C-alpha cells in the first residue's frame, strides 16, 4: 500500500506511517474526522486524513491568523475587482 517516511534514519525516533496501519495517536488528533487538533504538533498545516490536500492544525493560534488573512485577501480582491470594473 502507500507508505510515508519509509526511509527514516535509524538514529531518529520517527514513527513510520502506512495507510493500512494507522497510528492510534493520530485518531485522537482528528475531531469529527475532519478537524485536526493536536497541541503537541508544531506544524500549522498537515496533510488531510483522506484525499488530497492540506488542512490547518486548529490547536495552533497561527492557523486562525492564516485563515483570517486568507478570508481578508478574498474580500480585498473582491473589492478591487468591483472598484476597477466600473
φ, ψ of residue 67 to 5 degrees: the values are: -65, -45
C-alpha–C-alpha distance, residues 63 and 54, integer Å: 12
Q: By 3-state DSSP, what share of the chain in percent is helix, strand and coil, each rounded to 5?
A: 35, 20, 45
C-alpha–C-alpha distance, residues 35 and 68, integer Å: 17
**Residue pLDDT, tens place only, 24-47:** 557 777 788 778 888 888 888 888
**Residue pLDDT, tens place only, 45-57:** 888 877 788 889 8
Phi/psi region, residue 64 (left: phi>0; alpha: psi -120 to 50; beta: rest), is alpha
pLDDT at 34: 75
Q: Is the pLDDT of residue 19 over 70?
A: no
Amino acid at each position: 500500500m502507500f507508505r510515508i517516511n519509509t526511509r527514516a534514519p535509524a538514529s531518529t525516533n520517527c514513527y513510520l506511517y502506512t495507510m493500512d496501519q494507522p497510528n492510534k495517536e493520530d485518531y485522537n488528533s482528528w475531531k469529527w474526522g475532519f478537524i485536526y487538533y493536536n497541541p503537541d504538533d508544531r506544524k500549522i498545516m498537515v496533510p488531510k486524513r483522506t484525499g488530497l490536500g492540506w488542512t490547518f492544525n486548529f490547536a495552533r493560534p497561527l492557523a486562525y491568523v492564516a485563515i483570517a488573512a486568507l478570508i481578508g485577501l478574498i474580500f480585498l480582491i473582491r473589492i478591487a475587482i468591483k472598484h476597477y470594473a466600473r
